[in-house]
């Protein structure tokens, strides 16, 4: 079935259309804003790849990392500096940006800068968070919690709709598979699409082994390309990946962020499978298997 379609972007950034038969959207960037220089460098680099491949792009990077495994881990540059940096990225590069927020009180300020507002996976059911995001009026990037069944995401969607917002992207970032492990169940993409909203695959968190290394999460990047191809073949409206020039040196998610040097290869294949999927749908119609 074809999903709702809406636009992401305000002001004079290059707006992105998502949903229905639109081109595959890429949402990506370093997990955390590490510094102004690094954020700008990464945004330029990823933008260049996306322009080369003609893939609509939304830059993602977070100003606060509340869900780190360890108290010793980097917590983020903070909302003020972070939003200032994202604002600079928007203005200099004319691209839409997204960040998440973990405190309802931060939603308004976050939405003043961000074109898309993200809800952390662990908070995907919290009414106060969903309400705060909905009331900003911005499109919402809602990550399905690792603990949630895909059909139960309907409840979070209903909460957001009740609070007056109907621009939602539902993202699968893997599901708990026993302790410290995630499984990718691509039925979730079909089940979440039943809500009528666009769906997205988070390829870097999906290969994560949550807190598998005692006080930090592990992960195996080598699974990213095949899982991305599979997701795009299954049917997604957007792909999400955290990208870093030197992941082992990254201040967060060093084991899951994908190397900048690898994204062109992955994005090109994602786009190819997305376009093939669309071509097959126009030949064979929407899936209607009894």
Partner 1 sequence: MLNDLAKIYSIDVKDFPVVKENDILKLSLELMSKYRIGISVICNDLNEIQSIFTDGDFRRLILRNQKPLPALLVTEMKNISNKDFLSVNTDTTVLQAIQIMTKNKILNLPVLEGNKLIGILNLERVINFLIDNE
Binding site for partner 1 (CB under 8 A): 149, 151-152, 154-155, 191
How many Å apart are CA 80 and CA 220, to the nearest integer?
33
For 6, the token pair is 């809406």
CA–centroid distance for 95 within its chain:
15
- Residue closer to partner 1 (CB basis): 155 or 261: 155
Q: How many CB atoms lie within 10 A of CB 154?
A: 15
- Residue closer to partner 1 (CB basis): 48 or 127: 127
How many Å apart are CA 212 and CA 226, to the nearest integer?
22
Task: With beta carbons less than 8 A apart as the criterion, state whether 32 and 252 touch.
Answer: yes
- Residue closer to partner 1 (CB basis): 75 or 154: 154
Smallest gap from residue 150 Cβ to partner 1 (A): 8
Give a three-class secondary structure readout of 68-120.
Answer: CCCCCCCCCCCHHHHHHHHHHHHHHHCCCEEEECCCHHHHHHHHHHCCEEEEC
- Residue closer to partner 1 (CB basis): 128 or 155: 155
- Residue closer to partner 1 (CB basis): 147 or 151: 151
- Residue closer to partner 1 (CB basis): 156 or 209: 156
How many Å apart are CA 237 and CA 19, to the nearest integer?
6
Smallest gap from residue 154 Cβ to partner 1 (A): 6
Smallest gap from residue 151 Cβ to partner 1 (A): 4
For 80, the token pair is 């003020």
* 3-class DSSP state of 256: coil
Smallest gap from residue 149 Cβ to partner 1 (A): 6
Smallest gap from residue 195 Cβ to partner 1 (A): 10
Burial class (CB in 10 A: 0-12, 13-18, 19+), 123: buried
Smallest gap from residue 148 Cβ to partner 1 (A): 11
């Amino acid at each position: 079935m074809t999903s709702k379609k809406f636009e992401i972007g305000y002001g004079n950034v290059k707006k992105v259309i998502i949903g229905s038969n639109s081109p595959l959207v890429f949402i990506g960037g370093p997990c955390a804003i590490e510094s102004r220089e690094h954020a700008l460098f990464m945004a330029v680099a990823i933008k260049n790849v996306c322009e080369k491949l003609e893939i609509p792009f939304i830059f993602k990077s977070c100003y606060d990392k509340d869900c780190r495994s360890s108290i010793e881990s980097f917590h983020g540059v903070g909302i003020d500096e972070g939003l200032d940096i994202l604002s600079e990225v928007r203005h200099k590069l004319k691209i839409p940006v997204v960040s998440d927020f973990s405190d309802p009180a931060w939603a308004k300020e976050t939405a003043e800068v961000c074109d898309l507002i993200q809800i952390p996976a662990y908070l995907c059911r919290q009414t106060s968070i969903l309400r705060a995001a909905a009331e900003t009026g911005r499109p919402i990037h809602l990550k399905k919690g690792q603990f949630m069944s895909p059909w139960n995401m309907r409840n979070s969607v209903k909460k957001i709709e009740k609070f007056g917002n109907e621009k939602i992207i539902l993202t699968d970032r893997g599901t708990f598979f026993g302790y410290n492990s995630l499984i990718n169940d691509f039925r979730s993409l079909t089940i979440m699409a039943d809500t009528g909203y666009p769906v997205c695959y988070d390829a870097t968190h999906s290969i994560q082994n949550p807190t598998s290394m005692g006080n930090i999460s592990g992960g195996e990047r080598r699974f990213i390309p095949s899982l991305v191809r599979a997701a795009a073949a299954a049917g997604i409206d957007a792909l999400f990946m955290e990208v870093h020039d030197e992941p082992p040196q990254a201040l967060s998610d060093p084991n899951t962020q994908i190397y900048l040097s690898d994204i062109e290869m992955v994005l090109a294949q994602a786009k190819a499978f997305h376009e093939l999927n669309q071509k097959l749908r126009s030949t064979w119609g929407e899936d209607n298997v009894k």
